[in-house]
Amino acid sequence: MARGHGRILTSIWEDGDFLDLEPVEQRLYLFLISQPNLNHAGLLDLTLRRWARKARGLTSADLEKLLQTLDARRFVVMDEDTEELLIRSFIRNDGVWRMPKVMGAAVSGALEISSKRLQQALLAEMSRIPLDELNDEPAKLRNGSQGPSIRRQIEDHMLVLQNAFGGPTRNPPRGGSGTPSATPSGTPSDTPDEGGPKGSTRGRAPLYVRAAPAPAPTPAPNPSPIQEGSVAEEAGQSELVIVSDADFVGAAEAAPIEPAAVSTQTIVGEWLDRCAKRPPSQTVGQTSKQIKKLVEDGIDPDDIRRGLAKWMAKGSAPSAIPSFVNEAMNAAPSASGNVVHLQTGQTLTGTDAKVAGWAALAAQLAAEDSEDSA
């Protein structure tokens, strides 16, 4: 489902880095933010010819030069080899990191990245998310039980991405400069100078250093249903919403919810855990795309897991995953179900059973292959 709006904080017009751009470069940045196929990770396919047709007299060569400028100024990260473009600070600017469901959608979108350069840029952005600002209290679910806190859910999503891209385990420092002036800023400046007129569009505090709490903004009528927990709301900044965000893809309430269905990143994370060595990034991306399509088709997660086990045992290309899933979901059910019996008479159920079941099934198929080749 295509996005129906682009979110732009009005404080962007007080940001020095953005104001230093030429008018045509500013327009291009706003153009990229409002693209309907922009996913929650800030990823776009690099389609120069298609974009050039959106403005009279603009050529692909002109557009490429403009994008190179935005890349050099760290507003975007571009890879012409993989034909991908990342709006670098999109996750932080759009408030994605505050909402577990939307963050999950962002991770699913990020797993499609093939470019190593874009992957590392996004991992660097993840390290700058101020987790301290997230609620660390156990969530109260609608059924009365307690679930993981918002912070824990966001951390889990980030861990999936770090494992997929081979990033280091997060160990945030607690100090640092208040304004990262030594490093060229990105989309736009991360922090305003002290005494500046307004907060920046890229974040209100430096790396893991919480800003002093600002006075609560005066309540005012909200002309559009802005998502609860966005950066703009938290900072008391006004924002411009292009078109309408009523159809915002993956929008989630900040209030705790009941556990959602198994997501793409959950299955991808399970698959990566079962790999003896981390697969190449291209393989991770291709596999993630296949799993995402199966999840979107409504295929039962357990059927996907069983199909992946068959696929892993055969060592086929990621494009063959749907065939293995189809084989798994239409096979005769096992008499033992998803319970693995141990020698002691104990049994595994639920997630433990699925984990053990994957390993057992893969080993069984590998043994069958050995017998066939003997």
110-160 pLDDT, tens digit each: 999 999 999 999 999 988 888 889 988 888 888 888 889 999 999 999 999
Closest CA to 111 of 162, 152, 47, 153: 162
Average pLDDT, the chain: 73
Give the least confident one: 72-76, 186-190, 212-216, 342-346.
Answer: 212-216
What are the tens digits of pLDDT across the range 345-363? 555 555 555 656 666 666 6
Give the least confident one: 274-283, 308-317, 319-328.
Answer: 274-283
**Higher-scoring residue by pLDDT: 266, 335:** 266
pLDDT for 359 equals 61
pLDDT for 248 equals 34
**Residue position matching structure tokens 């987790």:** 131
Select the highest-mean-pLDDT range: 71-85, 129-143, 238-252, 353-367.
Answer: 71-85
Query: And the tokens for 41?
Result: 């990770």
pLDDT for 205 equals 31
Q: What is the mean pLDDT of residues 84-104?
A: 90
pLDDT at 199 over 80: no
Q: What is the mean pLDDT of residues 192-221?
A: 36
Query: CB–CB of 302/333 below 8 Å?
Result: no
**What Å distances lie between residue 221 and 218, 242, 244, 252, CA to CA?**
10, 18, 16, 21
Query: And the tokens for 335?
Result: 């008499």
Query: CB–CB of 116/281 below 8 Å?
Result: yes
3 state DSSP class of 241: strand
For 275, residues 6+ apart whose C-beta sits below 8 A from its C-beta are: none
pLDDT for 169 equals 42
pLDDT for 374 equals 57
pLDDT for 356 equals 61
pLDDT for 347 equals 52
How does DSSP assign 55-77, residue by residue? STT--HHHHHHHHHHHHHTTSEE
Query: CB–CB of 348/356 below 8 Å?
Result: yes
Confidence of residue 200 (pLDDT cuts 50, 70, 90): very low
pLDDT for 259 equals 44
Confidence of residue 296 (pLDDT cuts 50, 70, 90): confident
